[in-house]
Amino acid sequence: MTAARYHPFARLLHWITALAVFGLIGLGLWMTGLPIGLPKLLAYAWHKWIGLTVLGLTVIRLLWRRRSPPPVLPTTITPWERRLAPWGHWALLALLLALPLSGWLMSSAGGVAIFWFGLIRVPDLVPRDAGLFEGLRMLHHWLAWLLIAILAIHLAAVARHDVVRRDGIFRRMWFSGR
């Protein structure tokens, strides 16, 4: 059965975001163990720049989704999958908003100015506050682990659909029709 496919723009946004998020996860795990120095400062700067880009891409994805809703799920999808799939997708989208926002708030509370890709000064969202910074740091940390867990479930579901069930779910989001 050939499932209806996502619009090419939605697929492009999905895969750019996916690459950025996996890069952010790897960078985030690596940078926290670095000693203070230029490599750590550059890693944090890139993490913030890419994180803010993911925030922007996610807003665009949500606006696009209002204009162009996802295709209907094929009839081969079980009732429990039909109920859980939207929850998983909305959880991912919510985390793709919450994580960059918590990072942006954390930088603001830490008194660290962000210049997006070194060019555009991003406004502080809150005044400098050490206690708030620490709370946001912990929030960002746990949201990141929650994102990793939900991504693992998402990837397992994709593998199940594509390898085990062969029901066309993956091809709905992939670039080629095969």
Of 20-29, 64-73, 156-165, the one with minimum mean pLDDT is: 156-165
Q: Produce one character per residue of 160-169: b if its CB has 16 or more CB atoms within 10 Å, e if not.
A: ebeeeeebbb
Q: Which domain holds residue 153?
A: 8-173
Count of domains forming the chain? 1
Task: Find the angle CA(77)-CA(83)-CA(88) to the nearest 5 degrees.
Answer: 100
Residue 178 falls inside a structural domain = no
Residue 2 falls inside a structural domain = no
Look up residue 131 and give its two tokens.
Answer: 């206690």
Q: Is the pLDDT of residue 178 over 70?
A: no
pLDDT category at 168 given cuts 50, 70, 90 is confident
Q: DSSP character for 123?
A: P
Residue 90 falls inside a structural domain = yes
Residue 1 falls inside a structural domain = no
- Distance between CA atoms of residues 90 and 110, nearest Å: 30
Domain of 160: which CATH number? 1.20.950
Residue 120 has φ and ψ, to the nearest 5°, of -110, 120
Is pTM, for the whole model, over 0.95? no
Contacts (Cβ under 8 Å, ≥6 apart) of 22? none
Residue 165 falls inside a structural domain = yes
Look up residue 129 and give its two tokens.
Answer: 């506050």
Residue 3 falls inside a structural domain = no
Residue 153 falls inside a structural domain = yes
Residue range 50-107, pLDDT digits in tens: 999 999 999 999 999 999 998 888 888 889 988 998 999 999 999 999 999 999 999 9
Residue 89 falls inside a structural domain = yes
Look up residue 24 and give its two tokens.
Answer: 């952010």
